[in-house]
Chain A
Amino acid sequence: MNDSSNKQSLTTIDNSWILIFSCWILAAIGTLGSLFFSEVMALKPCVLCWYQRIFMYPLVVIFLVGLFPLDRSVFRYAFPVALIGWGFAIYHYLLYSGYIPENLQPCDKDASCAEINLELFGFITIPMLSILSYTAIIVLLLIFRNRTKA
């Protein structure tokens, strides 16, 4: 009985699993996307971009490990990481859009955090993509926590 239910949890896809799976997909897209910008398009990541990368990349591994078998405590490990990354993304966005004056930015002259390097379709910028993915991950994690509350 116990054995078969274990096996069940490894193969069947339920909604909670889908939530973490989606988080993993988002983190993987964020990772590959940022690598595309820097390695393929040769855009130099600024300091703040690096901090956001630092908190996004490990999420790919944390979520993947949490998926097999689905671990309820993945929330506890992933949430703080995502939250800190989200904080950097917000700060970067405020800087980028001019809400924080330029002389406050911790950037070197090689790659300025306030300089707009890329605008997809005229309005999507890289910090915006970062905020969107961090926000989505955080929302999905919160839903996951509420669902799996014992």
Chain B
Amino acid sequence: MNKQTLVMAAGVLLIAIFSMAAFLYNTQMADEISASAQQNASLLVRDYSPTMGDENAKVTIVEFFDPACGTCKDFYPFVKQLMEANPGKIKLVMRYTPLHNGSDEVVKILEAARLQNKYWDILEETYATQSAWAINHTAHPEKLWTILTYSGLNIEKAKQDVLSPTVIQHIQQDMTDARQMQVSRTPGFFVNGKPLINFGYRELQDLVETEIRNSY
């Protein structure tokens, strides 16, 4: 064997081992995540969780999200499109995973908006203005408060409501459930209890469409 062949063979071998190990590791992790999702299925939806869509829809998308997360913002309209494309068949449940600094305060604002029946409006406005209040992976709730001044939200009441212990308790419960469900990055999607393992628009759409086919 000459030198070139040896180096080439060694390089190919190393990369092959790497890919094989990555494949095996991912397969094993996928199995574990699916198994643990099945085991903890009861933690996916809490009775207090904000829900959108038909009550009787047979496909439930649970989304663990962080309002300061850019990918969550990008996925939100996509999920809405999926729901519009399949009217009455999909229901969306929102769970909080505020991983960014300060974004738990933003979640509290969302919860306060919910008490005024403005949850989805404020969520959309929060996403739309994300770049103005989430800077360098840190949420600045005071900036969001200013942005929301003319949103129709009763700010005075909202500022009282963000202090409510129920709201804080809900966020903590969501964080605990997220850990149990092994959601360490956002958004974390579960469709009818099945975790979205390979992340992407296409993958989410495939998972949702498979569940629709199985349920209807």
Question: What is the interface of chain A, defined by CB distance below 8 A to chain B?
Answer: 10-13, 17, 21, 24-25, 28-29, 32, 35-36, 39-42, 64, 67-68
Q: Is the CB of B15 within 8 A of A40?
A: no
Please judge, given known A-B contacts A40-B21, A40-B25, whether A11 and B2 are in contact too, CB under 8 Å.
Answer: yes
Q: Which A residues are CB-close (under 8 A) to B11?
A: 28
Question: Which single member of B1, B3, B22 contacts A67 (CB below 8 Å)?
Answer: B3
Check if B3 sits within 8 Å of A10, measured CB to CB: yes
Can you give 14 A-B contacts (C-beta < 8 A)?
Answer: A11-B2, A13-B6, A21-B3, A21-B10, A25-B14, A28-B10, A28-B14, A32-B18, A35-B18, A36-B21, A42-B184, A67-B3, A68-B3, A68-B4
Asked if B3 and A13 make an inter-chain contact with CB atoms under 8 angstroms apart, the answer reads: yes
In the complex, A53→B141 CA distance in Å?
Answer: 37
Give residues 1-35 of B contacting A (CB, 8 Å). Answer: 1-4, 6-7, 10-11, 14-15, 17-18, 21-22, 25-26
Given contacts A13-B3, A21-B6, contact A32 B26 (CB under 8 A): no
Give me 11 other A-B pairs in contact (C-beta within 8 A), A21-B3, A28-B14, A36-B22 excluded: A10-B2, A10-B3, A11-B4, A13-B2, A17-B3, A36-B21, A40-B22, A40-B25, A40-B26, A64-B7, A68-B7
Known: A10-B3, A13-B3, A32-B15. A41 touches B25 (CB 8 A): yes
- Residues in A with CB closer than 8 Å to B7 are 21, 24, 64, 67-68
List residues of B (63-92) whose CB comes within 8 Å of A's CBs: none
Interface residues of B, count at CB 8 A = 17
Please name all residues of chain B whose beta carbon is closer than 8 Å to the beta carbon of A64 when the two chains form the complex.
7
Q: How far is the CA of A132 from the CA of B11 in the complex (A)?
A: 21
**Chain B nearest Cβ from A67, distance in angstroms:** 6
A-B contact count (CB 8 A): 44
Q: Which of A10, A32, A42 contacts B14 (CB 8 A)?
A: A32
| Among all A-B residue pairs, the 7 with the closest Cβ atoms | A11-B2, A40-B22, A32-B18, A40-B25, A28-B14, A32-B14, A13-B3
A33 closest partner in B (C-beta): B18
- Give the nearest-CB partner of B26 in chain A: A40
Distance of A67 Cα from B7 Cα, bound (Å): 9
- Residues from chain A with a CB closer than 8 A to the CB of B4 are 11, 68
A40–B26 Cα gap in the complex (Å)?
Answer: 7
Residue of B nearest to A39 (CB): B22
For residue B1, which residues in chain A have a CB less than 8 angstroms away from its CB? Answer: 13
Contact mask B127-159 → A, CB, 8 Å, 1/0? 000000000000000000000000000000000
**Cα A32 to Cα B18 with chains together (Å):** 7
Q: How many angstroms from the CA of A13 to the CA of B25 in the assembled complex?
A: 36
Give the docked Cα–Cα distance between A29 and B7 (Å). 13
Point out the residues of chain B lying under 8 angstroms from A17, CB to CB: 3
In the complex formed, the residue of A with least CB distance to B24 is A40
> Which chain A residues border B15 with CB–CB below 8 Å?
32
Docked pose: A28 CA to B11 CA in angstroms: 8
Who on chain B is nearest to A17 by CB?
Answer: B3
